[in-house]
Structure 1
Amino acid sequence: MKLRKRMKWIAMLMSAALLFLLMRLAEIQLFFTESFSKWNVNLIQESVKQRTEEVQISDGRGSFLDRSGKPLTVSRKPAIVLFPFLKSQSWPIDEAAAILNISEEELDEKLDNAKKPVILTKNGEGSISKTALEKINKLKYPGIYGVYIEETEKNRLASHTIGMTNQDPELLRKKYPHKDGLSISTKIGTFGLERTFDEFLLPEQDTKLLYHVDGLGNPLFGIDVKYTADANPFYPLQIKTTIDKTMQQELEDILDDHRVKKGGAVLLDIENSSVLAISSKPDVNMASQKTRQNYMLTPMYPGSVFKTVIAAAAIENGLDHPSKTFNCNLNLYGEPGDDKGKLNMEEGFAESCNYTFTSLADELIKKNGSVIEDTAKKLGLTGRVGWEGRLYRERDFKQFYHEGSGSVWGDERDKKVKKAVAQTAIGQKNVKLTPLEIANMMATIARGGEKKQVQIASGIEYKNGTLMASFKDHELPGDTIDHYTAQKLQKLLRNVVTSEKGTGRRFRDLPYDVSGKSGTAQTGRLTKDKKTLYHKWFAGYFPADKPKYALAVVHMDTPEDQAATNAAFYDIVKKVYEIEKNQT
Structure 2
Amino acid sequence: MTVFIHPKVYLVLFLSMLEKEKSGVESMRKIRRSWIVSLLFIIAFMGIIFRLYMIQIASTRSFSLFDEQVDLIAMAQSRQNKEVVIDSGRGEILDRNGKSLVGEKNWHLLVFPQSEEQIAYQQKKVRAITDLIHYPMKEFISLVTRLRTPMILTREDGRELILTPDQKEKIDALHLPAVRTVMSDQRMTLNQLGQQVIGQVVRSPLLMKKWFEPEVESGKWNSQSLLGISGLEAAFEPFLHGENEDLLVYTTTQTGRPLTGVQMLQKKIGGINEDPPKTIVTTIDKELQRQVEELMKEKRMEDGAVVVQQIADGDILAMASSPKGTTIEDEKNPWENRAVMEATPGSIFKTVVAVAALDTGLVKPDTVFYCNGKLDRYHLHDDNPKGHGRETFADAYANSCNVVLGTVAQTLGAQKLSSYAKRLGLAQEVIWNGRVFDEAHFSQLPEEQTGLIFAKNTQANDPGVLAQTGIGQHDVKMTPLQAVNMITSLFHRGKTLEPRLVKEICDQNGRVLYRFRNQFIPGAKPIKADALNAVKKMMRKVVTDGTGKSVSRAPWPLAGKTGTAQVGVKKDKYNKWMIGFGPADHPRYAVAVVLRSVPDDGDPRAMQIFQQVMELLAQMEKAEKKIDEKDDGQK
TM-score, structure 2 as length reference: 0.70
Q: Distance in 1 between matches of 2:354 and 2:465?
A: 18
Partner of 2:342: 299
Identify the range of structure 1 (270-279 vs 55-64) with the bigger mean alpha-carbon deviation. 55-64
Give the conservation status (yes or no) of the 8 Å contact 2:399–2:547.
Answer: yes
| Deviation (angstroms), 1:147 | 7.9
Partner of 2:10: none
Q: Distance in 2 between matches of 1:11 and 1:429?
A: 72
Partner of 2:469: 424
From 385, 405, 415, the equivalent of 1:370 is: 415
From 180, 184, 197, the equivalent of 1:161 is: 197
Q: Distance in 1 between matches of 2:553 and 2:109?
A: 52
**Amino acid in structure 2 at the alignment position of 1:485:** A
**Amino acid in structure 2 at the alignment position of 1:253:** E
From 561, 570, 578, the equivalent of 1:538 is: 578
Return the structure number with greater relative CO, CA threshold 8 A, min gap 6. Answer: 1
From 573, 596, 609, the equivalent of 1:556 is: 596
Give the conservation status (yes or no) of the 8 Å contact 1:259–1:564.
Answer: no
| Deviation (angstroms), 1:389 | 0.9
| SS state at 2:566 partner | strand
| SS state at 1:566 partner | helix
Q: Is the aligned partner of 1:72 residue 2:101?
A: yes
Q: Distance in 2 between matches of 1:127 and 1:247?
A: 20
Q: Is the aligned partner of 1:200 residue 2:214?
A: no
Partner of 2:549: 505
Give the conservation status (yes or no) of the 8 Å contact 2:107–2:163.
Answer: yes
Give the conservation status (yes or no) of the 8 Å contact 2:354–2:535.
Answer: yes
Structure 1 residues 115-154: aligned runs within 5 Å: 128-130=163-165, 148-151=183-186, 152-154=188-190
Q: Distance in 1 between matches of 2:269 and 2:421?
A: 56
| Deviation (angstroms), 1:56 | 7.5
Structure 1 residues 355-504: aligned runs within 5 Å: 355-365=403-413, 370-410=415-455, 414-478=459-523, 479-499=525-545, 502-504=546-548
Partner of 1:344: 392
Partner of 1:578: 619
| Deviation (angstroms), 1:581 | 1.6
Give the conservation status (yes or no) of the 8 Å contact 2:190–2:325.
Answer: no
**What does the per-residue CA deviation read over 1:481-529, in whole Å, with 9 as the maximum and x for residues that have no partner?**
2333222211111121123xx11222222122211111111114459xx
| SS state at 1:546 partner | coil
Q: Distance in 2 between matches of 1:80 and 1:424?
A: 52
Give the conservation status (yes or no) of the 8 Å contact 2:243–2:272.
Answer: no
**Amino acid in structure 1 at the alignment position of 2:244:** Q
Structure 1's 45 and 392: CA in aligned 2 closer, same or farther, altered over 3 A? farther
Q: Is the aligned partner of 1:514 residue 2:558?
A: yes
Q: Distance in 2 between matches of 1:526 and 1:551?
A: 30
Q: Distance in 1 between matches of 2:365 and 2:33?
A: 107
Partner of 1:61: 90
| Deviation (angstroms), 1:296 | 1.8
Identify the range of structure 1 (146-155 vs 313-322) with the bigger mean alpha-carbon deviation. 146-155
Structure 1 residues 190-339: aligned runs within 5 Å: 190-206=229-245, 235-287=276-328, 290-291=332-333, 292-333=335-376, 337-339=385-387
**What does the per-residue CA deviation read over 1:144-195, in whole Å, with 9 as the maximum and x for residues that have no partner?**
xx98443432321222232211222221222233425444542212222222
Unaligned runs of 5+ in 2: 1-27, 111-130, 133-151, 154-160, 171-180, 250-265, 626-635
Q: Distance in 2 between matches of 1:56 and 1:324?
A: 63
Q: Distance in 2 between matches of 1:570 and 1:491?
A: 18
Q: Distance in 2 between matches of 1:471 and 1:438?
A: 22
| Deviation (angstroms), 1:23 | 7.0
Q: Distance in 1 between matches of 2:589 and 2:365?
A: 30
| SS state at 1:538 partner | strand
Structure 1's 132 and 371: CA in aligned 2 closer, same or farther, altered over 3 A? closer
Which of the two has higher C-alpha Rg? 2
Q: Distance in 1 between matches of 2:281 and 2:241?
A: 16
Structure 1's 8 and 570: CA in aligned 2 closer, same or farther, altered over 3 A? same
Q: Distance in 2 between matches of 1:187 and 1:417?
A: 51
Structure 1's 231 and 208: CA in aligned 2 closer, same or farther, altered over 3 A? farther
**What does the per-residue CA deviation read over 1:261-281, in whole Å, with 9 as the maximum and x for residues that have no partner?**
122211111122121111222
Give the conservation status (yes or no) of the 8 Å contact 2:425–2:486.
Answer: yes
| SS state at 1:489 partner | helix
Identify the range of structure 1 (13-22 vs 29-38) with the bigger mean alpha-carbon deviation. 29-38
Q: Distance in 2 between matches of 1:34 and 1:349?
A: 69
**What does the per-residue CA deviation read over 1:94-132, in whole Å, with 9 as the maximum and x for residues that have no partner?**
xxxxxxx99xxxxxxxxxxxxxxxxx99xxxx9753478
From 584, 588, 608, the equivalent of 1:567 is: 608
Q: Distance in 2 between matches of 1:488 and 1:45?
A: 66
Structure 1's 231 and 396: CA in aligned 2 closer, same or farther, altered over 3 A? closer
Structure 1's 147 and 322: CA in aligned 2 closer, same or farther, altered over 3 A? closer
Give the conservation status (yes or no) of the 8 Å contact 2:562–2:577.
Answer: yes
| SS state at 2:238 partner | helix
**Amino acid in structure 1 at the alignment position of 2:201:** T
Q: Distance in 2 between matches of 1:462 and 1:36?
A: 39
Of all paired residues, the percent bearing the same amino acid is 30
Give the conservation status (yes or no) of the 8 Å contact 1:333–1:419.
Answer: no
**Amino acid in structure 2 at the alignment position of 1:343:** E
Q: Distance in 1 between matches of 2:35 and 2:109?
A: 66
| SS state at 1:327 partner | strand
Structure 1's 272 and 300: CA in aligned 2 closer, same or farther, altered over 3 A? same
Give the conservation status (yes or no) of the 8 Å contact 1:507–1:514.
Answer: yes
Q: Distance in 2 between matches of 1:80 and 1:158?
A: 20
Give the conservation status (yes or no) of the 8 Å contact 2:94–2:279.
Answer: yes
Structure 1's 80 and 506: CA in aligned 2 closer, same or farther, altered over 3 A? closer
**What does the per-residue CA deviation read over 1:384-425, in whole Å, with 9 as the maximum and x for residues that have no partner?**
111111122221111113211132223686444322221111
Q: Distance in 2 between matches of 1:21 and 1:267?
A: 66
**What does the per-residue CA deviation read over 1:276-316, in whole Å, with 9 as the maximum and x for residues that have no partner?**
11122222433467413332212222111111111111111
**What does the per-residue CA deviation read over 1:420-465, in whole Å, with 9 as the maximum and x for residues that have no partner?**
2211111111121111111100011133323110111222222222
Q: Distance in 2 between matches of 1:27 and 1:60?
A: 33
Give the conservation status (yes or no) of the 8 Å contact 2:366–2:393.
Answer: no
Q: Distance in 1 between matches of 2:231 and 2:302?
A: 20
Structure 1 residues 9-24: aligned runs within 5 Å: 10=38, 13-15=41-43, 17-18=45-46, 21-22=49-50
Q: Distance in 2 between matches of 1:70 and 1:230?
A: 28
Q: Distance in 1 between matches of 2:556 and 2:41?
A: 86
- The number of equivalent residue pairs is 514
